[in-house]
Every structure is written in structure tokens, then in C-alpha cells.
Amino acid sequence: MRIGEISKITGLSEHTLRFYEKMGLMPDVAKRGGGIRDYCDRDIDRLGIIECLKKTGMSLTDIKTFIDWCAMGDKTIQQRYDMFINRRAAVMAQMAEIQKMLKIIDYKIKYYDRARKAGTLAIYNGKKSKLPSFFDE
């Protein structure tokens, strides 16, 4: 299959497909005469893996490392395992930060809901507002 066909099948632009190849994420794409790329089902599978790993927040550099480790076989199972353990920890840390953001957003929703129901922010005039402790985190 030519690059245009793969682009339609995967939803990835031709530019992205060429970029992935340049980065070494697609090292085995066959080429016909004149340098025309000839993609196969295995390449589509590889693109699916790349897109899946991108959804985890993994960088293209880390995805390249993962692909290289896969090509090395079983001797890199521990490295691949460690990569996903580390990725999970990073995502958990991001989730904790997002939880803090949500607390602040919820606080502001309550603040403005009260003002909205009163029809004015004047309900807060003269009141010393004590910020919730999560603002200090």
C-alpha cells in the first residue's frame, strides 16, 4: 500500500508517516523503485502501537526506545516492564495534580454559584474569605 492509502486507513497525515519513518519508528517500511513507500499490514499494526503509546503520554523518543527493545526480544522484557511502571507513576502524579486543579475549580464554582444565586458578588464584601487548605498545597 502506498503512503496515501495508509494515511486514509490510519487517519495519520502523510507528513506524520514520513516523520515517524525519519525518527526510526517505522524502520522496516519497504520501498519500491523511486523510493516509493510500500506499507504492509505489519506496518499498520506498528502504527497502531505507536498511536496507543502516544495516548499514554509517552514521548516519541520513548516509543522509539520501546520499539527497539521489542526488536531485541525477550532480553528486554525487564526494561519494557520498568518503562511502563515509570509511565504509570508519571500518570499517577499528573492525576494528583489534576485532582488539585479540580478542587480549586469546584471551590470557584461554589463561590460563583452563591454569588449568582444572590445576584451579586457584594455578598462577599467585608467578609474575610478563608481560602481552603488545598490552595496551600
Residue 128: what are its φ and ψ, rounded to 5°? -85, 115
Longest dimension (CA), the chain: 79
Q: Domain 3-83 falls in which CATH fold?
A: Multidrug-efflux Transporter Regulator; Chain: A; Domain 2 (1.10.1660)
User: In whole angstroms, how far apart are CA 30 and each of 37, 77, 84, 107?
Assistant: 6, 28, 30, 56
pLDDT value of residue 127:
72
56-78 average pLDDT score: 97
pLDDT tens digits, 82-112? 999 999 999 999 999 999 999 999 999 999 9
User: Would you say 63 and 29 are in contact if contact means Cβ atoms under 8 Å apart?
Assistant: no
Q: What is the pTM of this model?
A: 0.78
What is the DSSP-derived secondary structure letter of residue 120?
Answer: S
Domain residue ranges of the chain, discontinuous segments joined by + = 3-83, 95-136
pLDDT at 128: 65
